Structure 1
Amino acid sequence: MRMIALLIILVAGISSMGCSMKEMKEMEDPEPVVEKELSAEDSAFAAVKLLKEKDFSALKDLIHPTKGVRFTPYGYIDVEKNLVLSASEVGALKENQQIYLWGEYDGTGDPIELSFHEYYKKFVYDADFLHAEQISINKRLGHGNSIDNSMEVYPGATVVEFHFPGFEEKYEGMDWKSLRVVIEKLDDKWYVVGIIHDQWTI
């Protein structure tokens, strides 16, 4: 009788905790956490968030491991002059003060010779693209005079565009800005291969 009473007390104690025997077993052997695979759009958003935060050590994990990432200051991609950085080089950008050649300024053709941090302010995150007014996938939103050759340079890639149609009414939309993140898939994971800044050009 004493043993039965002890069992009743034990079961009553478990019930008062709100746990069944099955739930206790699950607590002992929790289900493994399955990491959700990011979509192309999710990866682009993640990249833009890290760009905004200037978290380059984390951004490097989103950069294509063999192709790196090409930085393009305007809509037209110049594969000969636009700078390509490897994932490891991206990871070290915070402390990097080196002057690079990124391409040519629109209108003058003068070389764009800037440190990454100078280039970043002018040709990467010069607007809050994480909260862009418009976002598209494989559809160009910003239209200027420059040719969009992204599909030719990155065949089969996904291009996610973060776009502001304009900021001041007096410019009638000529002050629009876009940031296009080019994503390619490798071994079931999406990687950034291109970061294209675009705006009205002469």
Structure 2
Amino acid sequence: MKKILIVLLLSASVLSAKETGLFGKIIDVAENDTLNVRAEPNYKARKIAEIPSSGYVGVAKCRQFKTSLWCQVYPLTQQGYEHFSGIKEKGWVNAKYLLFSDRGYVLVDGKASCDYVIQCKADKCERVLDYQTDDENEIKNLETEWIDRKRLHGESRFGTSSSDPKINPEGDICSSAVYIDDYLQNRRLKQLSAKTEGKAYQTLLKFLKTFSRLEPETIAAFVHPTAGLTLNYYTRFGRGNKGFTAKQIKHIDVLGKHQCFWGYTDGKGDAVYMTLYDFFAFLPHDIEHIREIKPLKTLNGFHCAKNSECQGYEVLWYDKPREEDFSWQGLVVILELYRGKWYVAGLLRDRWTI
């Protein structure tokens, strides 16, 4: 029995390590708080630095310590933090505070050449070698290769720009990421567009593309002209509804410093304050990894105006591919027909995890 238990624990440790990423975004840390960086992978080790709740770092490696997974992280070039910004700085944080990603610029064998990775699977990562563009300078095809993960070191676009004047005579900063990400999103949208489900569904897809960029002016163009946009922090409309006009959203920078009260967190019951822009960023909006879009049988508590037609959809992302039934997040989008055209009238975030 003891031997079996040891094997199971070792397997869990290895599996956890493989599920980590090249990068990590700080999560589950209060807005006015920081994440402690330790000298060793345990909570009793000496604190060497702090990372703010909005932090984004590179991940060097991860290690199991008792029942917790800890990761050695480092600051990205020109994206460092107070007392944690040096090129040789490294420290350990608990992995439960990291949202991992395998998408970003990397050094390959320590060399800077604007290399970009779009995904990793086990010990291999898919690197972009080249791409072809059309007359409008949009990518129409990607050429990629799979290379060993151990050869890669996650970095920022500043840290992967070559300093060799023969390779980069103008001293340009890497900029291909925005075009590559846009191509991958458009490819996923085309796959989703293959479903012919009417004008409301097509409006939803156009909105999702706009919303993924978090550009207030273009988001505002989709907002219902008279009813505005109803937002809610909870998983149903009703208690906690907040309404905004298209004009308010278009000029979101004017409201940028205004912290709105959105409700209370589950469990601890902490009050939630966010700007309108931060609330939009809080909602899931990654088009490329959408798993499916489901029409809603009900409107999740949304009040559709009398004599008006409304249609609701839930856009689903699964957190862990192997546990699709147990861990997912969703964006509920309510559309309302007005003068023959569909507009977005309601948004909220849904989530299920165990």
* TM-score normalised by the chain length of structure 2: 0.39
Residue 167 in structure 1 maps to residue 320 in structure 2: yes
SS at match of 1:41: helix
Gaps of 5+ in 1: 1-37, 140-147
Task: Give runs of aligned pairs for residues 41-56 of structure 1, distance below 5 A.
Answer: 41-56=201-216
Q: Which residue of 1 aligns with 2:292?
A: 134
Q: Report whether the alignment pairs 1:193 with 2:351.
A: no
Residue of structure 2 equivalent to 1:157: 310
Report the number of matched residues. Answer: 153
Q: Does 1:120 align with 2:280?
A: yes
Separation (CA, whole Å) in 1 of partners of 2:344 and 2:227? 9
Name the structure 1 match of 2:12: none
1:52-71 residue CA offsets vs partner (Å, 9 max, x unmatched): 11121122121011111111
Matched residue, 1:97? 257
| Deviation sequence 1:76-103 (CA, Å, 0-9, x none) | 2234x22211110111124523111123
The residue identity in structure 2 corresponding to 1:198 is D
Q: Distance in 2 between matches of 1:115 and 1:97?
A: 7
For residues 175 and 100 of structure 1, what CA distance do their matches in structure 2 show? 29
Inter-partner Cα distance in structure 2 for 1:160 and 1:52: 16
- Higher relative CO (Cα under 8 Å, sequence separation at least 6) belongs to 1
Q: Secondary structure at the match of 2:314?
A: strand
Question: What's the counterpart of residue 83 of structure 1?
Answer: 242
- Residue 185 of structure 1 deviates from its aligned partner by 0.3
Match of 1:59 in 2: 219
Gaps of 5+ in 2: 1-197
2:217–2:249 Cα contact (<8 Å) kept = yes
Query: How far apart in 1 are the matches of 2:226 and 2:288?
Result: 26
Instruction: Tell me the distance in 2 between the aligned counterparts of 1:131 and 1:39.
Output: 23
Deviation at 1:149, TM superposition (A): 5.9
Does the Cα contact within 8 Å between 1:68 and 1:85 map onto a contact in 2?
yes
- The verdict on how the C-alpha distance between 1:45 and 1:172 changes in structure 2, with shifts beyond 3 A counting, is closer
Q: Select the structure that is richer in strand.
A: 2
Amino-acid identity (%): 22
Number of the residue aligned with 1:40: 200
Q: CA deviation at 1:51?
A: 1.1
The one-letter amino acid of 1:86's match is T
What CA distance in whole angstroms lies between the structure 1 residues aligned with 2:302 and 2:275?
A: 28
Contact 1:57 1:92 in 2 (8 A): yes
- 1:126-173 deviation line (CA, Å, top 9, x unaligned): x5146411111224xxxxxxxx7625533741012110233264x664
- Tell me if structure 2 keeps the 8 A contact 1:45–1:130: no
C-alpha distance in 2 between matches for 1:93 and 1:130: 26
- One-letter amino acid of the structure 2 residue matched with residue 200 of structure 1: W
CA distance in 1, matches of 2:211, 2:280: 9
Cα distance in structure 2, aligned partners of 1:85 and 1:51: 16
In structure 1, the partner of 2:69 is none
CA contact (8 A) 2:214 2:281 kept: no
Are the aligned partners of 1:52 and 1:130 in contact in 2 as well (CA < 8 Å)?
no
Runs of 4+ aligned residues of structure 1 deviating over 3 Å after TM superposition are 171-174
Is the 8 Å Cα contact of residues 104 and 111 (structure 1) preserved in structure 2?
yes
Decide whether aligned partners of structure 1 residues 44 and 196 sit closer, same or farther in structure 2, where only a CA change above 3 A counts. same
